[in-house]
Amino acid sequence: MSVAQLFDLRGRKALVTGASRGIGQAIAIALADAGADVAITARDGASLTETSAAITAKGREAVPLSLDVRDVERCRAGVAEAAALLGGLDVLVNNAGYEEICPSLDVEEALWDKIVSTNLKGAFFCAQAAARHMQAGGKGGSIVNLCSLTSYVGVPTAAPYGSSKSGLMGMTHALAAEWAALGIRVNAIAPGYFRTAMTDVFYENQDWQAAMLAKIPMRRFGGMGDVGGAVIFLASDASAYVTGHCIPVDGGYLASI
């Protein structure tokens, strides 16, 4: 098999949660560009119009679905619907996430539950539902979780988020070890500092931007074009012997601290 064939996703069926904008949207479009048909989800299905159009412009099938990953039964039903409409499921990207900065002494139970239920519980039950379809299909598959720099380091005012993303790293390890026998690989990427709608509050502070750029060896923040390659690698046969790992996409931040 040639190198080009290793990265070729033609014929693959993928599902990306939280794909209406930002990193999730970029990942969904990259998967389509590599040849996959892609089901995409968001809490508001109407918000997926732009992503759907970009996928179909690549000549691939787009399946938009309304899905709140905090609802376990809806996770199961949504994954089943995606598999049915696509004609199978080979790749799941657990991207849906939520973050809200708050001093730890002020965190209320409702905020904790919202963050952890979205980032960790939702990811687990989507992965579980996807794995059942991958097992039934007999071909295995690839699951890619969206971890974070907070999976590795502590960030003030982000204790619930960091807890959820650290848990997601542990879940990645555990599922990789358990599901390897089923032919299902489970990996993750950890985006560094990317400006998205969810993180925009940080970037409004110019002093914060200057301080963070000084800590990033590449001296720039991540752009949406920086995430697709890592996901394509983990979704494709190019990573056929890779499972249980997380690839930081962070401009060298973690390497420098």
Q: Among candidates 32, 33, 41, which has minimal Cα distance to 13?
A: 32
Active site residue: 161, 193, 203, 253, which one? 161
Terminal CA-CA length for the chain: 39
Judge whether 241 counts as a catalytic residue: no
User: What is the C-alpha separation between 78 and 41, in angstroms, rounded?
Assistant: 9
User: What is the C-alpha separation between 165 and 119, in angstroms, rounded?
Assistant: 7
User: What is the C-alpha separation between 69 and 7, in angstroms, rounded?
Assistant: 29
Residue 75 backbone phi and psi in degrees, to 5: -55, -50
Mind telling me the catalytic residues?
A: 161
